Structures are given as C-alpha cells and as structure tokens.
Amino acid sequence: MRGFAKNVIDKVMHLKGNDIPVSHMSYDGTLPTGTTKLEKRGVAARVPNWINDNCIQCNQCVQSCPHAVIRAKMIEGDKISNAPETFDFIDYKAAKGKDLKYKIQVFIEDCQGCGVCIETCPAKNKALEWSTLDIEREAGENANEEFFETLPYGAIDGSSEENVKGMQFRQPLFEFSGACAGCGETPYVKLVTQICGDRMVVANATGCSSIYGGTFPTIPYCKNETGRGPAWGNSLFEDNAEYGFGMRLAISSNRALLEIKVARALELGLKGPLADALKAQMDMWKAVDAAAIAGQTKIAGLIDAEVEKASGELKEVLAKIAELKDYFVDKSVWIIGGDGWAYDIGYSGVDHVVAMGKNVNILVLDTEVYSNTGGQASKATPIAAVAKFANSGMQLTKKNMGFMCMSYGYVYVASIALGANRAQAQKAIMEAEAYDGPSIIFAYAPCINHGIDMAKSQIEEKRAVDAGYWPLYRYNPANEEGKRFTWETKAPTASFQDFIRSERRYTALTTTNPENAEKLFAEAEEDAKRRMEFYKKLGEIM
Ligand SMILES: Cc1ncc(C[n+]2csc(CCOP(=O)(O)OP(=O)(O)O)c2C)c(N)n1
Ligand code: SF4
Ligand code: SF4
Ligand code: SF4
C-alpha cells in the first residue's frame, strides 16, 4: 500500500498522473482499499466541537455522519493516562461499576462541515457546536485523533453491539468518501459495513455510490486491524445485479468444493491440529460470527506447513484447501446502486436475481432521481417532482417496486429511512443479511438534487415518514406465517403538502408548470396514500 500511495496516489493528487510509469500501475485493475484516509483534505472551514457535558452518549451523530468522520469509543480507564492533555472524555454512563470512559472524536481534517451531526444530536442542550478548523487544530484535535485511533473499537464492556448505540462503537469499514457534504446515501452504506463489512463483497452499480465508492486512486472501503474489510467492484449500470449474482455463484461453488476437499483430506487420514481445526470448522459451516472467523484464521495459519509436509493425493487436496482457505466463512454479497439502476436501467437484472432465490442482499439507495448525472427522472420519481426529462413535473406514479419483489413470497423486502427510525433501518439490514435467500432494501436517501438544506438530510427522512410520503415496513419470509409482514409506518403526524412544498424539486413546479402545479400536488398526495394502502394490504395478505 505504501508504494502505491507514494508512486500513484501522491502523484495523481498533485496532478502529476502523466508522470506515472506503467510499471507502477496495477497490472490487473485491483487497488488497495482504505486509502481515502491518506487524503486529509482539510476542506471544511467549520467543523463540529463536542461539548461533553451535554452529551447523552446516544451515538446518533456517529450513525448519521455521511462521511464516518465523527466516532465514539468506550475506553478502559487505565488507557487514558497515555492520552494527550487535550484529549477530553467523560465517564461512560452505562459502565456498571467498571472504569470506563466515553469519547466522541471528530476527525477534523476529513470533515466535510455538512452539519448533519449537529442537526441530528438529540441532546436537550446540543452536545455538538460549530467551531472552525483552525481553532480545532490549535486545540490539538489532530493529536487527539491519533491517540483515539490507537484505542480499540467495539463495545469493550461486552454489551450488545446489535442495538443502535452498540453498533456505533464498531469500526466503519467505509470512511471519508467524496460524497457531497450531507449525502443521504452514504450513512446506509457505512452502516452495512459496520454490520458485516469484515466478510462483505460488493457489486456496485454505476452511480453516485460507485463514484464516492471507488474513484481512482483512493478507496473509502477499508480494513479493520486484522486486515479484513469489504472487497468492492463496479460493473456496468445495466448488469450490476447479475455481476453480484455471479459473485454469489462463485463463492458458493468455491465453498462447495472446499467442503468436498476437507472431507477427502480427513478420509485420507489427515491427523493433528489441522485435522482438528478442520473438523471444528465443518461443525460451524454456516456460522459467520467471530468464532467462525477465528477458526478460519487458525486454519490459514496451519495449512501451508501441512501442504509442505504431505505427499501424493493428500498434498493435492491440501493445496486446494490452501487455495480456498478464505471461503470457510461465507461472504455477505451486497449488490448496491441507486434507483436509476434498480428501478430502470438495471431493473430486469434486479428482478431476475431476486427471483433466483440465492442469498444476495440488494441495497437500493433511493434518491428518486438519477443523482450522479444531475437529477434525471427515474421510475422512482414521484408525481409532481420536477426532474430532468420531467421539467413540468413527473406526471406518472412511482413504481411500487417493493410490492413487485414481495409478491414472490420468498424475497426479504424492507423500506427504511434511517433518520426516521434508526432501529428499524438497522434491524432491516441485519435481517436482510441473516436471511438465507434474496433480500432487497429500499432506503430513502435525500440528495442535493432535492433542493433542501443538506445539514438536515437525516431530519428530512423523518419528515418524509411523518408526512406519509415514505413507508417503513419489513417483509421477512423467514418468519412464520402471519408474522412475516411488519408495517412500521404510523399514521401521518405532519402535513404531506407542507413536506413537499418545502423541497425545491416540488416548489419548482410553480415556475415550470404553474397551471397544473396545484393539481399535481394534490395527485401526489393521493398517490402516496394509495401506495401506502397498497403496501399495507398486500403485506397483510402475504
Ligand atoms: C447504460 C448506461 N446509461 C447511462 C449511464 C450514465 N450514468 C452513470 S451514473 C448515472 C446515474 C445513476 O443514477 P442512480 O442509479 O439513481 O444512482 P445515484 O447516482 O442516484 O446514486 C447514469 C445515468 C451509464 N453509466 N450507463
Ligand atoms: S459536520 Fe458532517 S462530516 Fe463533519 S462530523 Fe459532522 S456529520 Fe460528519
Ligand atoms: S448525538 Fe449528541 S448526545 Fe448523542 S452521542 Fe453525539 S454528541 Fe452525544
Ligand atoms: S448527488 Fe446526491 S446521492 Fe450523489 S453524492 Fe451528492 S448528495 Fe449523495
């Protein structure tokens, strides 16, 4: 990675890309991950400052930061003695008699100054306030960050990491992307990496998520201290679901072969620590937890020496096991893209892949337009929204894609909005991941194309749900009949019209199509109501 950073990243960043010799370029197109952290762009004039006295230790700022810039750690009391003097912290509230501290750290040089964390902070007296990059540099935040990075992630007190707060003690394996400040898409991607990033493989459709996900030469997907992290690839817009499906088939086929080879090695009389480790691993063939990963790591540490020692057929069999040693623990295949991809150009692929019944997870980042190319209308654009190619407002209804996927009966389907219900969104992602079949999640993602204050992107998600604009539900085929569908949308508590009339993509209609604006606004509300009813009733009979 160092060589690549020096020979390629540094040159490209200083606009000297033409000087890079071919011999320094990747020969197969692969690049090291975890390189956005080298950029330290220092682009935000304003950065947040943590007011620790006001903090209620909820970790919501951490979950909502689109850029993984603000992080929380639980710290063992005796580690604090090595901290710089400027390192502020508080006692961990739920320490239960243990000597634990709590810290919110802002990585100031990576901050985009979007303000999402400040807007999201639910403390009665906000525990985050604006400061400036200069003041925070002076205050020693860079040294604080360096120390913070030496401390372990995770709920080190052994408490659950499966609730909203606990999950945010985990390391994000997607950080410092170049998405627009305040982007509504990236918090979802980041959350997925916290849930299963250490065994995640991503097929990314072209769109914003591929641009902030892997613009040469730096990559925001990164690794944990054991070197595990997402492997990521981008294919064409029109075949991304199929691309991910191919990954699924390849992984499953490698695992099937590995199972056969392990059985044969044992049949051939393999004995000793490797045989014991292989037997133990086969007993947890479907497990994906820390114990399964530890078992896989143990085998990896033993296998090469055994290949060396063996002869005849056993040598060949063990060599194959060595080649497939990363496949003892199944990988979590994520197929990610925007609504333009999923609802439109890649739709037939998405439909085909969910229908195939294999274990893949699809994340649709629904900005209701083709965002990356400047906001063209897609089949996810609702009535009355003004978008490119729908200058006089969208005249037709938003495609009910969740309904289409749910109708198969064996597809996990969820509709989520992080800022509206953080626990529901996290639960849906965890359930989709755990479901041994196809899953698809529709995630509401505010975007600069909506014409809103992006500091409030998470709040806008709540407004959308409160106004009956965006539904929350989960359909889990793994549950027993009668309990598969969970409708999590409360009756609207806010005005639909107030909501749409606060976003420029809707208000623009009064300029672009003044004669029909009111009619379309009314139709938009009717259509949203109809869509809600439709989902609720279908879910109930499924
Ligand atoms: C077949 C094809 N058509 C058009 C494009 C150009 N293109 C690249 S990204 C993009 C927009 C993607 O929109 P969406 O899938 O909604 O993702 P978002 O950018 O909103 O995250 C388009 C049209 C392309 N790459 N391939
Ligand atoms: S201002 Fe934006 S980028 Fe900076 S820490 Fe807050 S949410 Fe993250
Ligand atoms: S959102 Fe506010 S109260 Fe919650 S952890 Fe962050 S700073 Fe503290
Ligand atoms: S255009 Fe929209 S979806 Fe794309 S990075 Fe910007 S805010 Fe995010």
Residue-wise pLDDT for 202-233, tens only, equals: 999 999 999 999 999 999 999 999 999 999 99
Q: What is the mean pLDDT of residues 79-95?
A: 95
Residue 361, beta-bridge partner list? 334, 439
Domains and CATH numbers, the chain: 2-30 (no CATH), 44-170 (3.30.70.20), 255-327 (no CATH), 331-541 (3.40.50.970)
User: Atom 2 in ligand 4: which residue has the minimum CA distance?
Assistant: 447
- The mean per-residue pLDDT over the stretch 292-314 comes to 97
181 lines ligand 4 (CB under 6 A): no
In this structure, which ligand is nearest to the CA of 186?
Answer: 4
C-alpha 35 – ligand 2 centre gap (Å): 19
**pLDDT at position 540, please?**
84
Cα(456) to centroid(ligand 3), Å: 16
Q: Reduced to 3 states, what is the DSSP secondary structure of residue 461?
A: helix
Query: Residue 418 contacts by C-beta under 8 Å, 6 or more apart in sequence?
Result: 63, 64, 187, 188, 191, 425, 443, 458, 461
Q: Which residues pair with 530 in a beta bridge?
A: none
Q: Is the CB of 179 under 6 A from ligand 4?
A: yes
pLDDT digits (tens, 9 = 90+) for 244-254: 999 999 999 99
Buried b / exposed e over 334-352, threshold 16 CB at 10 Å, is bbbbbbbbbbbbbbebbbe
Give per-residue burial for 460-499: e unless 16+ CB within 10 Å, then b.
bbbbbbbbbbbbbbbbbbeeeeeebbbbbbeebeeebeeb
pLDDT of 326 > 90? The answer is yes
The answer to whether 241 touches 297, Cβ cutoff 8 Å, is no
The stretch 314-319 carries a mean pLDDT of: 98
Helix boundaries (H) for 270-357: 273-283, 290-309, 312-323, 339, 347-355
pLDDT digits (tens, 9 = 90+) for 357-383: 999 999 999 999 999 999 999 999 999
The conformation of residue 69, written as its DSSP 8-state character, comes to -
Query: What is the mean pLDDT of the segment spanning 194-204?
Result: 98
pLDDT tens for each residue of 144-181: 999 999 999 999 999 999 999 999 999 999 999 999 99
Question: Where does the pLDDT of residue 293 fall: very low under 50, low under 70, confident under 90, or very high at 90 and above?
Answer: very high
In DSSP terms, which residues pair with 46 in a beta bridge? 132
- DSSP symbol at 387: B
At 162 the pLDDT is 97
Q: Are 216 and 488 in contact (CB under 8 A)?
A: no
Instruction: Tell me the ligand closest to 183's alpha carbon.
Output: 4
Contact 299, 278 (CB under 8 A): yes
- Which SS3 state, helix, strand or coil, does residue 503 take? coil
Ligand 3 centroid to residue 52 C-alpha, Å: 9
Span 24-39, average pLDDT: 93
- pLDDT for res 180: 98
Percent of the chain with pLDDT over 90: 96
Does ligand 4 lie within 6 Å of residue 185's CB atom? yes
For residue 542, pLDDT beyond 90:
no
pLDDT at 308 over 80: yes
The yes-or-no verdict on residue 197 having pLDDT over 80 is yes
For residue 180, the ligand closest to its alpha carbon is 4
The pick from 242, 341, 368, 398 for probing ligand 1's pocket by mutation, whose C-beta has the most ligand atoms within 8 angstroms, reads: 341
Q: Which atom of ligand 4 is closest in space to residue 208's alpha carbon? A: 4
| Separation CA 366–CA 411 (nearest Å) | 19
Q: What count of residues does the chain have?
A: 542
Percentage of the chain lying above the pLDDT 70 cut: 100
Atom 5, ligand 1: residue with shortest CA distance: 237
pLDDT at 429 over 80: yes
pLDDT higher than threshold 90 for residue 2:
no
- 24: which 2 tokens? 């320094």
- In short, whether 368's Cβ falls inside 6 Å of ligand 4 is no
361 phi/psi in degrees, rounded to 5:
-120, 125
pLDDT at 26 over 90: no
371 pocket-lining for ligand 4 (C-beta < 6 Å): yes
Tokens of 378: 């897609």
When pLDDT is averaged across residues 508-514 and rounded to a whole number, the result is 96
Q: Ligand 3 pocket: which of 56, 103, 105 to mutate (most atoms <8 Å of CB)? A: 56
pLDDT at 132: 98
pLDDT band at 1 (very low <50, low <70, confident <90, very high): confident
Residue nearest to atom 3 of ligand 4 (CA): 447
Dihedral in degrees, nearest 10, Cα atoms 108, 113, 114, 120: 60
Task: Give the strand order in the sheet containing 439-444.
Answer: 231-234, 200-204, 332-338, 361-366, 439-444, 412-416, 473-475, 485-487
b/e per residue 96-116 (b: at least 16 CB within 10 A): eeeebbbbbbbbbbbbbbbbb
Tell me what the mean pLDDT of segment 427-439 comes to.
98
Q: What is the pLDDT of residues 259-284, one digit of tens each?
A: 999 999 999 999 999 999 999 999 99
Q: How far is the CA of 421 from the centre of ligand 2 (A)?
A: 20
Phi and psi (nearest 5°) for 26? -65, 130
**Best substitution site from 212, 240, 365, 370 to test ligand 1's pocket, by max atoms within 8 Å of Cβ?**
370
pLDDT at 356: 98
Average pLDDT along the chain: 97
Distance from Cα 367 to the centre of ligand 4, integer Å:
8
Q: Give the dihedral sign, CA 293/193/370/380.
A: positive
Quote the ligand 1 centre to 255 CA distance (angstroms).
34
For residue 420, what pLDDT band results from cuts at 50, 70 and 90?
very high
**For residue range 110-123, what is the model confidence (pLDDT) as tens digits?**
999 999 999 999 99
Answer whether residue 416 shows pLDDT above 80. yes
